[in-house]
Each structure stands twice: as C-alpha cells, then as structure tokens.
C-alpha cells in the first residue's frame, strides 16, 4: 500500500511539479484553472445574487441597465440581473462542458486507439476507417445542426463535442500502442499467459495515460469554446446562464452600441483565460510526455 502511494507520488505528482517549476506559464495557468474550479464549486457562496435573479430596488423599481457601481461591480442587464453573479455562475457550465467533453474524448479516443493498435488486422482497419470518416465531418456546422435539431441543452453540446473530437486522439494513441505492443515486457506478459485484456489494460494503457490526458485537456479547451460559440449564436440552453449566453444577451440588446463594455468584456475574458489555461496545461503535459514516450 505504501508502495502504491510512493509510486503515485513519483510518477504522477513529481513529474507534474517539475514541469510546473520550470514552465512559469504552466504554473500560472494551473493556478488560474484551480481558481475557476473553486469559483464554480463555491458559486452560491461567492456570488452576491442568483444568476437569473431579477433585482428590485427598495422602492419596487427593477434595477436594470445599471452601470458598474459599488453595489453591482459589473452593473446589471436590461432585465435587472447582476452581471457579476452571472459571470461567477457562468463558470459552472463552462467547466462542466469542458471536463465532461474532455473525459469523453479521452475515453473514446483511448479505447479506439488501444484496441486498434493492439489487435491490428481487420479491427484496426475498420476502426481507422471510421476515424477517417469522422475527420471528414466539419465540426462547428455539425454542432450547430445537432443543437438546432435536438434542442439546446448543455448535455447535447457535451455529447456532440465528445462524439466528434475523439478522432483527434485515436490515431496518435494508436501509434503509441503499436510501439508499446512490441516492447518486450508486453511479450513477457503474453508468454506468462496474460489475456489480451490484461495486456491492454495492465501493461499498455498506463503508458498511454499521459497522451490521453493531453488530448483530454486539448478537447476541454475546444469544448468550452464550442459551448460559448453555440450559446452565443442562441442555440445553447436558455435556462443555463453561461458566458456564451451572456455574450448572446449582450449582443441582442446591442450592448456594444450602448458602450456597456462591462457586460460583454468580462465573459469574453473569462472564456479566453479558461481556454488558454486548458491548452497551456495540455502543452505542459507534452513536456512530461516526451521523456515518457522515449521510455525513460
């Protein structure tokens, strides 16, 4: 048991810490990411009001169109909702979409890559053929189509993104698997009588883990961006307040014309920061990945 903890520390924590120490950007982005997660988790405690709460003044007037003030740091919407609270709650759909889609992409892509690479032959041909078909599908148009057809909801977006983006992960993972399969310790397992299941999941998969994580973080960035885009186009969920939704509302009520920069700039920045930090974390995984890929 102690050995398992020690090995966790050595294999997962330490390489990460080393990379974070060297790469300042990765460090800052990791901290940013953690801040976003904490914001999402503790939103009800942090946000001064509910995201859809219509604020009414003491004398019964709707507090709409307010510019930033001490009471409402980012002002209010035409409907009288607190923009800051919306911003804070907006981190939730972003992260939910990002993390779920990322996991989905990583899972499907890894499984396809593992089975394709390990078994080879006909299965490999079929799976890669399917992957190639998916590559031919244009991303955003399909998302929009699906959103329009199946109705707008956060889950639809997650599924759509996961359903498409795994294709990016499958081929590189398959390549890795092809190489690992020939490593002697896999043959050693085969001679001992290991089942293909064992060879795949006990011997090969753990070495694929860094690559899967890389694609998970990249997909996370894409998913967040996609959700924002779709919501901005008005095809997203109208019940959930996401940053994209905020931009949509801002656009609809011509916030730019009014100079209500406090409404459309903060969500834009948040999207930028969150997506950037996902990509940056993914990039720093590449740094850890390269020595692992080399078998060190």
Partner 1 sequence: MIEKIVEVEKLSKIFLFTRSLKEIILGKTEQGVRAVDDISFSIQKGEDLGVVGESGCGKTTLGKLLVRVYKPTSGRIFFKERDISKLKGKKLKDYRKKTQMIFQNPYTAINPRFTMYDFVAEPLLIHNIGKNEKERKEMVFEMLNKVGLNPPKEFSGKYAHQLSGGERQRAVVARALILRPEFIVADEPASMLDVSLRAGILNLLKQLADELDLTVMYISHDLSLIRYLCNIIIVVYLGKFLEIGDTREVINNPLHPYTQALVAAVPVPDPNFKYQKVKIKGAVPTVPQEPSPGCIFVDRCPYVKSICKEEPPPQVKIDGGHIVYCHLYRGGREIK
| Contact call for residue 194 and partner 1 (CB under 8 A) | yes
| Contact call for residue 190 and partner 1 (CB under 8 A) | yes
Spatial CB neighbours of 215, under 8 Å, sequence gap ≥ 6:
105, 106, 109, 168, 169, 172, 173, 282
Which DSSP string do the residues of 51-107 spell out, in sequence order? SSPPPB-TTS-B--SPPP-SSSTT-B-TT--BHHHHHHHHHHHHHHHHHHHHHHHHH
> Which of 47/180 has CB closer to partner 1?
180
| Contact call for residue 195 and partner 1 (CB under 8 A) | yes
Q: How many C-beta atoms lie closer than 10 Å to residue 295's C-beta?
A: 9
> Which of 140/188 has CB closer to partner 1?
188
> Candidates 93-101, 140-148, 150-158, 184-192 — which segment interacts with partner 1 by CB under 8 A?
184-192
Site residue total, partner 1 (CB under 8 A)? 20
| Contact call for residue 203 and partner 1 (CB under 8 A) | yes
| Contact call for residue 273 and partner 1 (CB under 8 A) | no
Q: Quote the least distance from Cβ 8 to partner 1, whole Å.
A: 11
Q: Quote the least distance from Cβ 14 to partner 1, whole Å.
A: 14
- Give the C-alpha separation, 22 to 258, whole Å: 45
Dihedral (CA of 116, 117, 120, 125) sign: positive
| Contact call for residue 5 and partner 1 (CB under 8 A) | no
Residues that bind partner 1 (CB under 8 A): 3, 7, 11, 183-185, 187-195, 198, 203, 206-207, 295
């Amino acid at each position: 048991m102690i050995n398992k903890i020690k090995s966790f520390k050595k294999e997962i924590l330490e390489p990460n810490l080393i990379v974070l120490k060297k790469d300042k950007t990765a460090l800052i982005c990791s901290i940013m990411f953690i801040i976003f997660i904490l914001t999402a988790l503790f939103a009800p405690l942090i946000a001064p009001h509910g995201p859809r709460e219509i604020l009414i003044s003491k004398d019964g007037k709707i507090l709409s169109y307010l510019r930033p003030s001490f009471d409402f740091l980012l002002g209010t919407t035409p409907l009288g909702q607190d923009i800051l609270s919306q911003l804070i709650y907006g981190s939730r759909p972003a992260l939910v979409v990002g993390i779920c889609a990322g996991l989905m992409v990583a899972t499907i892509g890894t499984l396809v890559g593992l089975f394709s690479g390990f078994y080879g032959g006909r299965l490999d041909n079929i799976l890669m053929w399917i992957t190639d078909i998916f590559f031919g599908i244009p991303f955003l148009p399909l998302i929009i189509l699906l959103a329009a057809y199946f109705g707008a909801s956060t889950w639809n977006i997650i599924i759509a993104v996961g359903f498409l983006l795994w294709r990016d992960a499958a081929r590189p993972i398959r390549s890795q698997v092809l190489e690992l399969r020939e490593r002697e310790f896999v043959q050693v397992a085969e001679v001992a009588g290991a089942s293909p299941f064992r060879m795949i999941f006990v011997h090969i998969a753990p070495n694929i883990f860094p690559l899967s994580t890389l694609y998970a973080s990249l997909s996370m960035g894409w998913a967040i961006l996609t959700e924002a885009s779709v919501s901005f186009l008005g095809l997203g969920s109208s019940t959930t307040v996401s940053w994209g939704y905020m931009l949509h509302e801002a656009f609809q009520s011509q916030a730019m014309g009014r100079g209500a920069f406090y409404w459309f700039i903060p969500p834009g920045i948040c999207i930028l920061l969150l997506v950037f930090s996902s990509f940056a974390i993914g990039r720093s995984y590449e740094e850890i990945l390269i020595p692992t890929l080399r078998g060190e």
